[in-house]
Amino acid sequence: MGLQPVPPQDSTTGPHHSEHQLAQTAGSAKELGHNEARAALVEAALSVISTEGAAAMHPKELCIELGISRSLVNFHFDGRDGLVAEAMALGYERYVEELERVAGAAGPDPLDRLLAWVDRQIDWTIANPGLAAALNFQREASSIVGDMQPDAAARLEHTGLRNFENLRFLVGAVRESRGGSVDAATAALDGAMVGWLTLGLSVWLSGRHIPTRMLNVPDQVEIARARVRQMIISMVGA
């Protein structure tokens, strides 16, 4: 999945950051031309979706804050759904780039790189619960009515495949570094298992899963993270 509302952010960034980001964007958008206004709309929409959810994103409010015409939403995105889809695609691309960056910076040990990927996904999902929900449950949580625009849908699919391929590589590298033999099918299944395990924990800890919302407290997050890390280490034979 399932990259941060706007550019990569520190894992401590929380839901209350979106209003500040929107105000910053608004301050510079009042004198923008069409192309710049388009980018400002996407950034503002992404900021709201990331922390508050897609249903909380109202183009009219964004346009008022940005000081631009509401007609630009239709001009650039064919309406609200197109703006949501564009913001989701951009957010997902940034998220996956961030996962790759963090894993690559974790050092030469394949296990360290894999665990860095896991930790960052958990932290990112907790900090970006709205975007995480929209990406993981597009039909239910994106608030898009009907089919997503083809260009945005293609970008989301491409980014998802890129993310899974990177995870499959990280898991396979751990097995190989420990002397294990890895065929393509096993590596893919291992990658899927790590992804599902991390995704499930991330969604629970983000506070958007009502039955487990009480787990979204620092001590429980760290306990859960440690246990998932240990499960993954055991599973990949490290």
Enumerate domains of the chain plus CATH numbers: 15-235 (1.10.357.10)
Task: Read off the pTM.
Answer: 0.80
* DSSP string for residues in 38-72: HHHHHHHHHHHHHHH-GGG--HHHHHHHHT--THH
* Token pair belonging to 7: 């550019």
Q: What's the rounded mean pLDDT across residues 40-59?
A: 96
Q: How far apart are CA 130 and CA 140, in angstroms?
A: 12
Q: What's the rounded mean pLDDT across residues 163-190?
A: 85
* Token pair belonging to 174: 């751990």
**Percent of the chain beyond pLDDT 90?**
47
Q: What's the rounded mean pLDDT across residues 148-176?
A: 93
Which position has the higher pLDDT, 53 or 221? 53
Q: What's the rounded mean pLDDT across residues 191-218?
A: 71
pLDDT at 31: 53
pLDDT, one tens digit per residue, over 98-121 is 999 999 999 999 999 999 999 999
pLDDT band per the 50, 70, 90 thresholds, residue 175: confident
pLDDT at 16: 40
* Token pair belonging to 148: 């997503």
Kindly report the average pLDDT of the chain as a whole number. Answer: 82
Torsion-angle region of 34 (φ positive above 0: left; ψ -120 to 50: alpha; else: beta): alpha
